[in-house]
Amino acid sequence: MKKENCIALEAGRYENFSGVIMWGETEGVVENATFTLEGMVDFKAIIFHSGIWKNGTWAYGICENGIWEDGVWKRGVWEDGTWEKGTWMNGTWVNGVWKDGIWESGIWQNGTWKNGTFYGGIWENGICENGELELGTWKTGDWVKGIWKDGI
């Protein structure tokens, strides 16, 4: 059964959920999402299996797949899916497509960067098709085009 305009604030699995997640420091609006809320009193994480993150603040967890439309990512692991726009503050990017936005810190392990600004962090591998790298560390990967400022 599809739930609309609901609030997810208890541990457990949610399927095809549209509404608001309020879990620890995380508060965001999702659409057609399947996810699990896990944790204790002081530590709360989300395992996001699929769906659309419309906006809000992601505090901690793993995104296995999905579409990020807007918001702030504080920390966690991104495994696959598409990032539309927003601000990435920390965490590990494993694979997926970054379309646009601001990256502030973290580790980029693999994936395709379409456009945006990479401020700080470590680029371990992947394809940068276009964008701007500033104050980051580039280890390996394919740089197609863009602007390189003060990176290593």
pLDDT in tens, 60-110: 999 999 999 999 999 999 999 999 999 999 999 999 999 999 999 999 999
Domain spans, the chain? 1-74, 82-152
What's the rounded Cα separation, in Å, for the pair 105 and 74? 10
Say what percent of the chain tops pLDDT 70.
95
**The pLDDT of residue 1:** 39
**The pLDDT of residue 149:** 83
